[in-house]
Chains A and B, each alone.
Chain A
Amino acid sequence: MLTLRTVVATSAGLTLASSSFVAAIQVAGFLAGDSAWLAVLVGGLLCLAAGACFSELNGILPSAAGIRLYFGRAFGEKTALTVSMLYMLIIMGVVGAESFVLAKVLNQAIPRVEPLVWIVILQVAATLMNIRGIKIAGVFQDAITYGLMISIILISYLGLKKIDFELAAPFVTGGAGSLFSAVAVGIFLFVGFEWVTPLAEEVTDSRLISRGMFLAVGLLSVVYSLFTVVAAASVPREELVSSPVPQLLFAKTVLGDAGVIWAVVISLAASVTTFNAGMISISRFFYATARENALPPVFSRISMRYLTPWVSILAVFAVGLTLSVIILFTGKYLVLVNMAAAAECAVYALAGVSVLVLRKKIRDRRDTFTIPWGPVIPVVTTAVFALLAAGVFVTDPYAAVWTAAGLGLIWWYVHRIVPVLKEKARASRAPRRRSRAASGPAQGVVPAGPASDVDPDKV
């Protein structure tokens, strides 16, 4: 059984990534003065509202299927599948951006090894870990997450001392528009904190999940605020904003050459949990989608040796590597950060609507968590996050174009290809129950399943 400490570590660990430093600095880039903390804090508070919606949804429909189930019940199967697929595709992009950022950090530490080589090494290592079923969890997850947070607070404190920092203009944002854009991108800092909700069945008291999420968002808000404000005050802002490795620039300024080692260790620790959780979640999603016949059956192949969906894992590797290479050659890593921020905003907005719809649809609710003040918080969550998603797209038209293209493609796939796949699967399956009922239970003859057709042990 998981403890509150591990729930907080899991929730926070999923969001703490190397690319989070890039997003944090982008937040500072939108704002004047030392007001980055304000945007991070507002983003955190908004995520708490979204977290409340997820807690209620998990109470209504407790299942590891998460948004796939909530949105399915609220909006229908096709919409749920479309949104889930798009979300997973964008998270794959985040994994690609993550390996790009980490490769850049490692390349600064060991310049002889090109970023492309690092990307391949990192992704192959993460893929092999996943195929072997190695999972970062429990005490190890706790150590990484809390160690990361303490380390970031410590270096921020050293930075404060070094530049003799004084908070001169904590509320000077440069205008409401700037604050709005900063908050919108700042949502990326919390991407995935709600992924801890499926663990509801693994804790002694399901309320621990809500508490853990809220604590994680609170802790992350403090850590990110401190890092962003101090880093933006220590290093020229233009230099930080245009760099894919702002944490390294900041660490070098504070610690000198030792800062490179700090940045490498911190980035590796931040990325390892993101790679692990990201790749496991995406590959399991691929597997589950194939099992419900919405993807070709090949994606449901499993390794008998390691009990992992190896084809799905390899597919994630192939897409992730392709995206990383595209990012490496185009330098458009921020597009993926913005797409992820917008997708997260859209998912949170839909979560708010789902709460309202499911409150009406499912009235038979036992003693589960209900957000106080009736529809206020879900309505505010929906309105604010929908606006923030639109704000990200206005700020970054590339992100809007790519998201629209992805949405169109997936919409077409779900409406045209999935029905064909489902029909094919239905036709190929012999109805054992009906045939058995017709022949009578006394015969007890059960057709042998095509288990021998499955030859997954090819890893």
Chain B
Amino acid sequence: MATHQEITESLKAFTEGYSKNQRLKAMNRDWDRNVLVLADDIESAHTLVLKDGELSFSEGKTVDPDLTVISNSDTLADMFFGDITPTEPYMNGTLRIIGSEDDILRLDFISLLIWGE
């Protein structure tokens, strides 16, 4: 089981990886989204905010998320650190993402472009 702090660290790594990639920023210039990241085994909630191509995150929940990412703390930490791809837990049901299919795919594209294949 990962801690809330580890998930925070993983999201920090994720946003740092994102901000180093100019093409990603250009790609998401018109894709403004609030992404709620929830752990289902510990008390932990974070919000990723994509606005004008820039990605930031904060601890706590957002009121009206466009996408909600729910999984156990270990999977969330591994995924945002890039140790696992989101697809594997998504396909076996460990990871649940509530949102449109296109938005889910875009989130996976972002992860791919930050952490590679």
- Residues 27-66 of B, flagged 1 when their CB comes within 8 A of A and 0 if not, give 1000000000000000000000000000000000000000
In contact, A62 and B96 (Cβ under 8 angstroms) = yes
- Interface residue SS majority, chain B: helix
Decide: A300 near B112, CB < 8 A? Known: A291-B85, A292-B87, A446-B13.
yes
Nearest-neighbour CB distance to chain B for A455, whole angstroms, equals 10
Interface check A374, CB cutoff 8 A: no
A1 closest partner in B (C-beta): B100
Question: Which residues of A (237-287) have their CB < 8 Å from a CB of B?
Answer: 284
Give complex CA distance A55, B108 in Å: 26
Nearest-neighbour CB distance to chain B for A303, whole angstroms, equals 10
Give complex CA distance A195, B82 in Å: 31
Give complex CA distance A429, B23 in Å: 23
Residues of chain B within 8 A (CB-CB) of A198 are 101
- Residues 421-442 of A, flagged 1 when their CB comes within 8 A of B and 0 if not, give 0000100010111101100010
Residues of chain B within 8 A (CB-CB) of A451 are 17, 20-21, 24, 113-116
Give complex CA distance A143, B91 in Å: 33
In contact, B113 and A433 (Cβ under 8 angstroms) = no
Most buried by B among A61, A73, A450: A450
Residues of chain A within 8 A (CB-CB) of B24 are 451
A69 closest partner in B (C-beta): B93
Decide: A307 near B9, CB < 8 A? Known: A73-B93, A292-B87, A454-B116.
no
Question: Which residues of B (70-105) have their CB < 8 Å from a CB of A?
Answer: 77-78, 81-83, 85-88, 90-93, 96-101, 104-105
Decide: A291 near B108, CB < 8 A? Known: A63-B90, A72-B92, A448-B17.
yes
Chain B residues in the interface with A (C-beta under 8 A): 2, 5-6, 9-10, 12-13, 16-17, 20-21, 23-24, 27, 77-78, 81-83, 85-88, 90-93, 96-101, 104-106, 108-109, 112-117
